[in-house]
Amino acid sequence: MPDILGRGECGSHVTLLFSIEDDSEELVDQGSLGSGLCLVDGSEAIARGTEGGGSLSVRFIGGEGESSLYHEVRETLAEFIPEILEYDWEVTVKLRVPVGQGFGMSASGAISASMAIQRAMGLPYEESMRRSYLVAHLVDRKRSSGLGDVSALSAGGVELRISPGSPYHGHLLDNGPGRAIGWSNGMEVLLAWGEGSGKHTSTYIDSSEWKASISTAGNAQLVELEKGDWDKEKWPELIESAWRFSQMSGLIDEPRRSAVLQKASRAIEECGMSEVVAPLLCMLGESVVIVPKDPDEIVEMATLLSTIEGEGLSGCVTRVNESS
């Protein structure tokens, strides 16, 4: 039997504010409400299957990933498609932004790998895509590595999560309990992060103290954000809400996260761009996303990137992706 080959890709996601909605015993119903940005740069996976007994080897390009995530993807996907265990798999994952920095890369990688394996099996695109979102959501919840990234990525653009849970579920992969909406004009943004990686997401979402402060702060901001139409007219309000959330939740007070924000702010001031861009914390990494204050204004982020790097941060320029 010849080898089979498939490819999948998925952007990254930055959460700006959120609440934790994980009281249900059903993983498909757990998730978060909130808002953030879905970005073009994320992950790409190539899966090669050879007739065998279901083994999996994972290789990373462009950064260090967690092999255990992809083993969990294989096991979860096999619950829906047992035939994948008739192959030995080699999965190569290209990471375009780092893991562990608040960019939703667990969800992104899980979606990409699940998509690649299914496409190698010859399954239809739409079916594979929906199942990939479901598998990634389940894996994120099993590992406490994410709450609403998958739902957000299913909407795309500048997203608002208005119902928690997986965007798809069930045998027919119908719309799930999770619902998000988005808009996009393809604006350019800059991601910046410090050395190492931040605390694991579970440090916050599995802590009763953090859960209370985060959810209280997130729900307070969502009261106004959910009013009216969700479009670019909401952009200034989202920026202000993200700032208020970071302060009310206490997340801005953690030293390493605060240090990254201070360095980014200095770089912005040095470039004379304080009036045109805003640095916002990426939840829950030790990172920021620098965004234009006016979504229709073209800002030269590449110039700012070199100054950011001069402050000892790493970074990249990317764009908000299209909304679905």
Half-sphere CA count of 167, side-chain side, radius 13 A: 23
Spatial distance between the Cα atoms of 13 and 33, rounded to a whole number of angstroms: 14
CA dihedral (70, 72, 78, 84) in degrees, to 10, reads 30
Q: The tokens of 121 are what?
A: 């099996």
Q: How far is 56 from 54, CA to CA, in rounded Å? A: 7
280 strand-pairing partners: 289
Q: Which of 96, 194, 205 is nearest to 145 (CA)?
A: 205
- pLDDT at residue 322, as a whole number: 96
pLDDT value of position 77:
98
Query: So what's the pLDDT on residue 206?
Result: 86
Confirm if 109 and 93 have CB atoms less than 8 A apart: yes
Alpha helices in 81-174 (DSSP H): 105-120, 125-143, 149-155
Cα–Cα distance between 234 and 82 in angstroms, integer? 45
- Domains of the chain in sequence order: 1-324 (3.30.230.120)
Closest C-alpha to 201, from 258, 283, 139: 283
**Tens digit of pLDDT at every position of the chain (324 positions):** 789 999 999 999 999 999 999 999 999 999 999 999 999 999 999 999 999 999 999 999 999 999 999 999 999 999 999 999 999 999 999 999 999 999 999 999 999 999 999 999 999 999 999 999 999 999 999 999 999 999 999 999 999 999 999 999 988 898 899 999 999 999 999 999 998 777 788 889 889 999 999 999 999 999 999 999 999 999 999 999 999 999 999 999 999 999 999 999 999 999 999 999 999 999 989 999 999 999 999 998 999 999 999 999 999 999 999 998
Q: What is the pLDDT of residue 153?
A: 98
Distance CA 150, CA 42 (A): 13
